[in-house]
């Protein structure tokens, strides 16, 4: 935002603007030219709310507040929880309680999948996760059992009263995944594949959009804008870690990015601590951190026997770890939210979109 | 670690080793040459505990487990809470309860400092933070009031029964800081300045070591090793965010790095959500995330009037936000820890250092 | 690689191994357990050549050299230049001379496209580049003219004796792109979309594989392995910049990554300085840097009028800048290569694949 | 920069401004509020030159161009080559010809140091580099021979007619280094230690300022501003690689950052390809890339026997590689510069500082 001062307004007016911006959480930088002085916001900050804008506009010497249109108007305007169908009837994601999606990285042994589904159910999960089409770095790695895996997921989920979430890695896979799964995942590697986004938007199912590990929060929200613009009946965001120089974890779970997205949209946001951790011992701390930072749900990998898993065994929780993790995460989320409105209102979503950007 | 198989042992033995490693949370990669086959760990993983090692060693065909010596034996061997002096007597950091350090970024107006100290005290903080020697990007930015600021911190802290933490940016500043402050901070910009680390180790005070924003967890722990090797009476680590490509936050708070450090050392670990956030609305989510991931304390900037702060105003909490934040963080930490041992034991520190690395 | 010492061999043998590894450009780390001592390579290094391996194997106390199989055997085994068809007959990429692909970011005005084609031809380019299917961050940004743009490219290229390279962003677009273009580009955003890679491998055209901006060199080569494994008649790699914390350039052109890829494969490697630069003034330095580091070709955006371009105008070179850039780049490449074999042999590709990894 | 339109000016005026900005290499974004419309620059771009500004100011509907003051006025105003004393008389860095600084990472064996000095001299180097005070990650690693190493460097350099460059890691070391070395290095780990910068500025010697591996180009220039503001008789910048997610090189040599710094200052810029490479085979490609991108000098590690080096052996060139590398780099630089003014003028430094920022 740029706070344009009236011609002739001087340093004192600029200082007052800078102070008001600081109170609103924004840094400031002066720009000058000819007889004009203005102050532009600098550094990270939430969109200024109506009160802050009114205070700025009322300051001596302020002529106008200049804003860029929001690049993602549908993401900004989106409201309320996302409803997901399930064998036991629909449930809402983002309505206050944490939602859990547990299951194996890739579907392989059906008996183990049923054990995982039973443990997920017992731990309070609403969703069974499992990979049918696996995007793998090497062409020689196990790529998933495809349609057969989807059928197995469906059977296990139906038997345990769970909805299914699984990834569609291509337009060709979308129909099959949408046919069997109540929630269709778009993975981190394909977040920027806009033709896939457009096709997924037409699949008729709510979508779980993972953030690309090389994508900024703004790019992630723009990918969600593709989905909403294309008619997706619901979009859930999912933070899963970004690429950084730190080699000790598989990715760096960006809880700040999650909280930043929360400031910009009311879409529900999940976190995937498993892929960020890369190893079992780090899954729980990351899951709880995400719950504390405001995640609406957690998608976590587990395995009946990590030693037999055909992908990502080292980061799979044991089945008996699911229930304690779910209890701890729920307790953390409750504790975080209880004090939150008093404390700093970070999750208060502005009710009026600032700009009248027309999406077309 | 490398699991060396006996000459002649084949793929079946390797598969058993790989499965056992996966159960221990570690990835694996086979290496071969001549008639030898071995399996090396790959990807992020915690140090393997004694049980896992015993199981590996007992597998058919395993000849030996080969390890590198721990590069930071003193950091690994360090035990227990760190004791900090204060006007009301010593207190322990890392003993189970969260420790709070609240105060302004830089000390400027003494009246506002006293207001901050009073609010910090009321919120349950043990430490008053405040910058006297400020490391600033620009030589023309406010660099802090130096020794005078230390005296002001001392007066405000004494009046409110708080200990003081402040940064020493140079060897020259160390004496002054150590004379007035119960805890001496080494900042992110100087974490890799080994002469300063060595001098700080001799200052006779416990040290708060911030992670450099370009430093890996291993480098951070190696900096702590300098301090312990040099005789520091206590070291507290502090995660404050790393540099990544995400422009929407000032830094990326690495809660995974914090949890990883927790797996490698019993030294207490703080988090600084203010510098990672860069803006007020993100401070609370990051503070709570760190508490959930296992932080022992939080160091948070506040200001009586963010609009008058001479540095970092946009990220300073208002004084009336401190108490709710402290309550929420304490509740989150309790919730996280309650289920934790059941859930995945990530914070269990191994009792026996694996390697007999002699530090000299 | 792990250099396994015989049981009983001690620190002296390890020191000799470490020295030999250092001479071969590799760092080293000792691992021990029971009575065994071994030395593993550490840090970045090129695959060790046969002479270095023979010297290591011949050292006192060395029992075996243990290696992991190469994950990308087809990329490693690939040889020689890639042949590209064109209206004037086929030409070879990677045969010693720099290849240039010039043209607009997106095809829009056909008259301007012809001006660009003429300037490209006059500057010595073999390929006309131009976007028909554009992957854009925002759904409301110009997405390219699709099939019509491909026809326009074909006409302009035929008229000027150029081959065409254009991106296929989806499986649906592959046929159209392959029908009109002698070289099919897979873009940075879809490098990790393995279904698209598999489909592209069957398109019957040589492929230009851009490195994802969040992908490591190893992942980039693994994507090329998908293409070769799927039957692609030729693969050209293209470095275009990675995501880092530096905000002053659009991406960080990784010339080190380019040189590293050169050590691991004989596939030709292009560089795209335009997308890394993000602004015109940085295109030439980055283009010349890539040429000096060993690039086989450059793909550069230009525009008859940058002010009218519908995407990426700020980074488009003016048409009269193409010829001087091509001359400078060719001169730089010649200068670099002239001294190179004497100087440090970095581009000598090992003639025998080290491991007998069977790709299936 | 913000291009403020007159009240009432509409979309047409904004489009003309956007086109002009694109021609100047800058992206653009519209901001609006009340009846005001303005266009702000977006994305990476060089400072606009006087012609571009005049064209913008002359467009219909433009009221004013608003700029922020340059944060580093002394860096921007700095002119001309830096003169370095040497046993054979002073020489100029940044005057057109490449300057070479060759020598061991750390000074250890004096005989080997003399061999390195002889080879450096024979290869055309003006400077002998060598570490006396070594900043090492581990407190148990070799930390350099300190003052004795400086004396040895001095003797070797005097005998071979070379100037000496060596790092001062602390204020305490500054006097000793400045006493023996014609050029005092400030290392990547201490670039942000402002007390050290201030002390170094008073040492009376020209300074070689390495970019921190976690520092942006702007922060690097701000560190140089500290030096110039403090009275340093000359400053040479040195790019040595930044931290990224790519594990295959020790750091990512940021040639784009080097070229960007070139657009903002006339201070000479070196590159250190050795620390970015981490392994010998990558040193030459990176050195040549830097020369092509406009480096004024190269600082490269070498060793008489890499197997005996006590630090960084794997990245040390053999002594007989120095001369071919120097020849290749010089040829590359000549080739790059020959066509450059014609080609895109990236190195033309603006003659008039845009803003009248007063540094105090």
Q: Which of D14, D25, D48 to mutate to test the interface with C (most CBs of C within 10 A)?
A: D25
Closest CA to D28 of D7, D9, D2: D2
Distance CA B165, CA B163 (A): 7
**Contacts of residue C336, Cβ cutoff 8 Å, sequence gap at least 6:** C291, C292, C293, C294, D288, D292, D328, D331, D332
Distances (CA, A) of D284 to B357, C43, C140, D186: 37, 18, 45, 24
Q: What is the mean pLDDT of residues A68-85?
A: 95
The sign of the dihedral angle between the CA atoms of A360, A203, A194, C297 is negative
Distance CA A335, CA B84 (A): 29
| Nearest CB partner across the interface for D64, out of A2, A34, A69 | A34
Closest CA to D18 of D4, D2, D29, D32: D29
Which pLDDT belongs to residue D341? 54
Residue C29 touches chain B, beta carbons under 8 Å: yes
C79 exposure class (CB count in 10 Å sphere: 0-12, 13-18, 19+): exposed
Question: What does the DSSP assignment read for A96-144?
Answer: SS-EEEEE-SB---HHHHHHHHHHHHHTT-SEEE-BSS---SSTTS---
Distance CA B352, CA A170 (A): 49
pLDDT beneath 70: ranges in chain C: 339-360
User: Residue D351: pLDDT above 80?
Assistant: no
Pairing of β A235-239 and β A207-210: parallel
Closest CA to C316 of C122, C130, C150: C130
Widest pairwise Cα distance in chain B: 77
User: At which residue do the structure tokens 């020259």 appear?
Assistant: B172
User: Residue D333: pLDDT above 60?
Assistant: yes
Question: What does the DSSP assignment read for A46-89?
Answer: PPPPHHHHHHHHTSTTEEEEEBPPPS-HHHHH--SPEEE--TT-
Note the Cα C313 to chain centre separation in Å. Answer: 24
Contact criterion met (CB below 8 Å) for B233 and B201: no
Q: What is the mean pLDDT of residues A97-114?
A: 97
Counts of helices then strands in chain B (DSSP H, E): 13, 15
Q: Which two tokens stand for residue D211?
A: 């970019």
| Nearest CB partner across the interface for A229, out of C139, C189, C213 | C139
Mean pLDDT per block of 10 residues along chain B (360 residues) reads: 95 97 96 95 92 97 96 94 98 96 96 98 98 96 96 98 98 96 97 97 98 98 98 98 98 98 96 97 96 97 95 94 95 87 40 35
Give the number of C-alpha atoms closer than 13 A to the C-alpha of residue C76, restricted to the C-beta side: 19
B11-23 and B50-57 helices, crossing angle to 10°: 170
Distances (CA, A) of A15 to A18, C129, C290: 5, 50, 47
Distances (CA, A) of C16 to B63, C44, C304, D183: 24, 20, 62, 36
Q: How confident is residue A80, by pLDDT bands cut at 50, 70 and 90?
A: confident
pLDDT in tens, D156-196: 999 999 999 999 999 999 999 999 999 999 999 999 999 99
Distance CA D85, CA D83 (A): 7
pLDDT in tens, D89-131: 999 999 989 999 999 999 999 999 999 999 999 999 999 999 9
Which pLDDT belongs to residue A338? 83
Pairing of β C183-186 and β C163-167: parallel
Q: Which two tokens stand for residue C155?
A: 């006409």
Report helix, strand or coil for C265. Answer: coil
pTM of the model: 0.95
| Nearest CB partner across the interface for D33, out of A36, A64, A243 | A64
**Contacts of residue D98, Cβ cutoff 8 Å, sequence gap at least 6:** D291, D295, D296, D297, D298, D326, D329, D330, D333
Chain D nearest-CA residue for B72: D138
B258 exposure class (CB count in 10 Å sphere: 0-12, 13-18, 19+): buried
Distance CA D6, CA A4 (A): 12
Report helix, strand or coil for C275. Answer: helix
Residue B190 touches chain D, beta carbons under 8 Å: yes
Distance CA B23, CA B18 (A): 9
| Nearest CB partner across the interface for D68, out of A31, A64, A65 | A31
Cβ of A43 within 8 Å of Cβ of B244? The answer is no
User: Residue D272: pLDDT above 50?
Assistant: yes
Q: How confident is residue D220, by pLDDT bands cut at 50, 70 and 90?
A: very high
Backbone angles phi and psi of A133, in degrees to 5: -110, 110
CB atoms inside a 10 Å sphere around CB D77: 14
Q: Which two tokens stand for residue A131?
A: 């990979």
Closest CA to A315 of A255, A264, A253: A253
CA distance C230 to chain A (A): 9
Q: What is the mean pLDDT of residues D74-90?
A: 96
CB atoms inside a 10 Å sphere around CB A222: 24
Which pLDDT belongs to residue A360? 34
The residue ranges of DSSP E strands in chain C, in sequence order, are 2-5, 27-33, 36-42, 62-66, 82-84, 91-93, 99-103, 127-129, 163-167, 183-186, 207-210, 235-239, 269-271, 297-303, 317-318
Closest CA to C253 of D214, D257, A212: D257
Which pLDDT belongs to residue D46? 87
Cβ of C343 within 8 Å of Cβ of D324? The answer is yes
Element (H, E) at D332: helix D322-338
Q: What is the mean pLDDT of residues D285-305?
A: 97
Residues from chain C contacting residue A193 (CB–CB below 8 Å): 135, 169-170, 189-190, 193, 196
User: Residue A339: pLDDT above 90?
Assistant: no
Residue C104 touches chain A, beta carbons under 8 Å: no
pLDDT in tens, A196-242: 999 999 999 999 999 999 999 999 999 999 999 999 999 999 999 99
Distances (CA, A) of D187 to B10, B190, D51, D151, D175: 50, 12, 39, 20, 16
CA distance B213 to chain D (A): 7
Contact criterion met (CB below 8 Å) for C290 and C88: no
CB atoms inside a 10 Å sphere around CB D35: 11
- ipTM of model: 0.94
Residues from chain C contacting residue A213 (CB–CB below 8 Å): 214
Residues from chain B contacting residue C63 (CB–CB below 8 Å): 34, 36
Pairing of β B99-103 and β C297-303: unpaired
Residue D90 touches chain C, beta carbons under 8 Å: no
- Against chain D, the chains showing at least 3 CB pairs within 8 Å are A, B, C
Torsion from C-alpha of C52, C54, C58, C61, nearest 10 degrees = 70
Which pLDDT belongs to residue D340? 62
Residue D251 touches chain A, beta carbons under 8 Å: no
Contact criterion met (CB below 8 Å) for D209 and D186: yes
Distance CA B142, CA C93 (A): 57
Question: What does the DSSP assignment read for A285-351?
Answer: HHHHHHHHHT-SEEEEEEES-GGG-SS-GGGPEEGGGHHHHHHHHHHHHHHHHHTHHHHT-TTPPPS
Contact criterion met (CB below 8 Å) for A253 and A276: yes
Distance CA C9, CA C14 (A): 8
**Contacts of residue B18, Cβ cutoff 8 Å, sequence gap at least 6:** A307, B28, B30, B39
Q: Which residues pair with B186 in a beta bridge?
A: B209
Distance CA C212, CA C190 (A): 7
Q: How many CB pairs under 8 A join A and C?
A: 95
Q: How confident is residue A353, by pLDDT bands cut at 50, 70 and 90?
A: very low
Q: Which of C2, C11, C41, C62 to mutate to test the interface with B (most CBs of B within 10 A)?
A: C2
User: How large is the C-alpha radius of gyration of chain A?
Assistant: 22
Note the Cα A287 to chain centre separation in Å. Answer: 13
Torsion from C-alpha of D227, D232, D238, D241, nearest 10 degrees = -30
CA distance C118 to chain A (A): 32
Residue D356 touches chain A, beta carbons under 8 Å: no
Give the number of C-alpha atoms closer than 13 A to the C-alpha of residue C188, restricted to the C-beta side: 24
Residues from chain A contacting residue B46 (CB–CB below 8 Å): 279, 281-282
Pairing of β D62-66 and β D2-5: antiparallel
């Amino acid at each position: 935002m740029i706070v344009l001062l009236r011609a002739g307004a001087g340093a004192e007016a600029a200082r007052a603007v800078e102070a008001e911006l600081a109170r609103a959480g924004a840094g400031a930088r002066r720009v000058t030219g000819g007889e004009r002085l203005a102050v532009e916001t600098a550094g990270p900050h939430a969109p200024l709310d109506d009160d802050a804008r009114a205070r700025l506009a009322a300051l001596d010497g302020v002529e106008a507040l200049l804003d860029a249109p929001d690049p993602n108007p549908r993401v900004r305007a989106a409201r309320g929880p996302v409803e997901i169908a399930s064998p036991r009837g629909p449930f809402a994601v983002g309505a206050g309680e944490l939602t859990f999606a547990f299951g194996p990285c890739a579907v392989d042994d059906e008996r183990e999948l049923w054990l995982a589904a039973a443990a997920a159910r017992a731990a309070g999960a609403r969703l069974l996760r499992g990979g049918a089409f696996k995007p793998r770095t090497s062409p020689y790695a196990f790529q998933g059992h495809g349609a057969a895996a989807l059928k197995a997921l469906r059977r296990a989920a139906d038997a345990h009263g769970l909805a299914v979430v699984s990834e569609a890695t291509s337009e060709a896979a979308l129909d099959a995944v949408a046919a069997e799964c109540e929630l269709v995942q778009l993975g981190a590697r394909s977040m920027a594949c806009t033709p896939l986004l457009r096709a997924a938007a037409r699949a008729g199912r709510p979508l779980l959009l993972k953030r690309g590990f090389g994508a900024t929060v703004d790019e992630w929200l723009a990918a969600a804008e593709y989905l909403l613009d294309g008619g997706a009946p619901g979009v859930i965001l999912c933070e899963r870690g970004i690429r950084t120089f730190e080699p000790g974890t598989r990715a760096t779970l960006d809880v700040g990015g999650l909280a930043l997205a929360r400031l910009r949209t009311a879409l529900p946001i999940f976190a995937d601590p498993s892929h960020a951790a890369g190893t079992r011992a780090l899954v729980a701390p990351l899951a709880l951190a995400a719950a504390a930072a405001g995640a609406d749900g957690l998608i976590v990998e587990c395995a009946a026997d990590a030693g037999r898993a055909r992908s990502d065994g080292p980061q799979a929780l044991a089945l008996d770890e699911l229930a304690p993790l779910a209890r701890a995460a729920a307790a953390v989320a409750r504790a975080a939210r209880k004090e939150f409105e008093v404390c700093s209102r970070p999750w208060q979503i502005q009710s009026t979109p600032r700009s009248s950007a027309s999406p077309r």
